[in-house]
Structure 1
Amino acid sequence: MIEFIDVQKTYPNGTVALQNINLKIAQGEFVAVIGLSGAGKSTLIRCINRMHDITGGQLNVDDVDVAKLKGKQVRRFRRRIGMIFQSFNLVTRTTVIKNVLVSFVPDLPVWRKLTGIFTKEHKIQALEALDKVGILDKAFIRVDQLSGGQQQRVALARTLAQNPAIILADEPIASLDPLTAKLVMDDFKRINKEMNISVIMNIHHVEIALEYADRIIGISKGAVVFDGKSAKVTKEILDAIYAGKANEMKSSSEESSAHV
């Protein structure tokens, strides 16, 4: 359970990123966070794993007050939360399996960190994670030889290897073509359903958000303006979220699909 209680986030320069956020997200939900650039979507997601600290209210994950965690507590807490970025954050000049094995580094004794020697169990877990996203055959290929979609799957496998309860995804398909984006979204959906992992995704593609997510949270100017089932989202609701730009967003999405 993730719970925001009157959460506020104001940056040092005075910018109000989040205001009066009250949300509850149950284990196993697939949630898409939508809204204009600068609306607060990324900030909302990054507060969950303490990449950003809140400046007011309370944020609980499984009854743990996230803001009160310190030092090693934060690192242990983050082990339960996977993070997927638009830029993949991979070491492209090394192999796929080595990128996945990186997820085990925080728990290794110092000598293993220095030598880069992993246990047989870690290697098996890494290969199993690659198998779950359908790229086991790429395990010993260098990352820079993979397509963008395959690289995003490596990033997803790296996250799965740490056995997270929650996956946060910050624009995970923004740099992918429409066909590849659909394949990656299929992976997210399957993992969400088969492994009961909560997925909270910040996404610009409205049509894809409505197709894959069970729940939509609409953010505008740092505030939640819609929170409900995807099936309940109407043109009027999108207009409210995008301040009248819903038609523009939809046409852009349809135009992209037509180019596949």
Structure 2
Amino acid sequence: MIQFINVVKKYPNGTTALNNINLRIERGEFVAVIGLSGAGKSTLIRCINRMHDISGGKIIVDRVDVSKLKGQHIRKFRRKIGMIFQSFNLVTRTTVINNVLVSFVPDLPMWRKIIGIFTKEQKIKALEALDKVGILDKAFVRVDQLSGGQQQRVALARTLAQNPDIILADEPIASLDPVTARIVMDDFKKINKEMNISVIMNIHHVEIALEYADRIIGIRKGEVVFDGETSKVTQEILQDIYGGKWDVEKEAIEEQAAYV
């Protein structure tokens, strides 16, 4: 369970990215966070795993007050939260399986970290994670030989290998074409439903969010202006989330998709 209690996030330049956020996300939910660029979507999800520290309020994850964690306790906490980025964050000059094995580095004794030796069990887990996202056959292929969609699935497999309870995804399909985007979203949905892993996703593609997520959180100027089931989202609600600019935003999204 993830709970935001009166959460505020202010950046050093004075910008208020989050203003009095109150949310409760249960285990196993698939939540899409939508809104204009700069609305606070990325900040919201990055506060959950302490990539950003909050300025006020509390974030509770599985009964743990995230803001009070320090040192090794933060590192241990983050092991249960996977993070997926738009840019994949892979080492492209090595193999797929080596990228997945990176997820085990924090668990290795120092001598294994230095020389990069992984156990048989860790290698099996890495291969199983690749199998779950349908790219086991690419295990020994260099990452720079893969398509963008395949690289994102490697990133997802790397996250799965650490056995997370929660996956945070920051615009994971923004650089993918519409067909590939849906393939990756199918993987997220499968993992969410079959493994009961919570997925909280910041996503620009609203139609895909409505197709895959169970719940939509709409952010405008750092505040939650909608929080409800996907089926409850109407054109009027989208206009409210996007500050009356939904039609313009929709055109921009469609134009971007045409050039990916």
Shorter-chain TM-score range: over 0.9
Which residue of structure 2 aligns with residue 38 of structure 1?
38
The aligned amino acid for 2:37 is S
Compute the displacement of 1:248 (Å).
Answer: 2.3
Compute the displacement of 1:251 (Å).
Answer: 3.6
> Does structure 1 conserve the Cα–Cα contact (< 8 Å) formed by 2:225 and 2:241?
yes
> Does structure 1 conserve the Cα–Cα contact (< 8 Å) formed by 2:85 and 2:169?
yes
Quick check: 1:6 aligned with 2:6? yes
> Does structure 1 conserve the Cα–Cα contact (< 8 Å) formed by 2:8 and 2:57?
yes
Q: How does 1:43-58 map to 2 (within 5 A)?
A: 43-58=43-58
Which residue of structure 1 aligns with residue 101 of structure 2?
101
Per-residue Cα deviation, 1:182-229 (whole angstroms, up to 9, x for no partner) = 100000001000000000000000100000000000000000000000
Quick check: 1:230 aligned with 2:204? no
Cα distance in 2 between the residues matched to 1:109 and 1:129? 23
Q: How does 1:151-230 map to 2 (within 5 A)?
A: 151-230=151-230
> Does structure 1 conserve the Cα–Cα contact (< 8 Å) formed by 2:177 and 2:257?
no
Cα distance in 1 between the residues matched to 2:254 and 2:55? 39
Name the Cα RMSD after superposition: 1.3
Q: Provide the secondary structure at the position in 1 that maps to 2:183.
A: helix
Q: Provide the secondary structure at the position in 2 that maps to 1:31.
A: strand
Which residue of structure 2 aligns with residue 60 of structure 1?
60
> Does structure 1 conserve the Cα–Cα contact (< 8 Å) formed by 2:58 and 2:65?
yes
The aligned amino acid for 1:21 is I
Which residue of structure 1 aligns with residue 124 of structure 2?
124
Cα distance in 1 between the residues matched to 2:60 and 2:172? 25
Compute the displacement of 1:13 (Å).
Answer: 1.2
Aligned residue-pair number: 260
The more displaced of 21-30 and 11-20 is 11-20
Per-residue Cα deviation, 1:146-177 (whole angstroms, up to 9, x for no partner) = 00000000000000000000000000000001
Segments of structure 2 that go 5 or more residues without pairing to the other structure are: none
Cα distance in 2 between the residues matched to 1:57 and 1:102? 34
TM-score, structure 2 length as denominator? 0.98
Which residue of structure 1 aligns with residue 77 of structure 2?
77
Q: Provide the secondary structure at the position in 1 that maps to 2:173.
A: coil
Cα distance in 1 between the residues matched to 2:250 and 2:174? 16
Cα distance in 1 between the residues matched to 2:255 and 2:66? 41
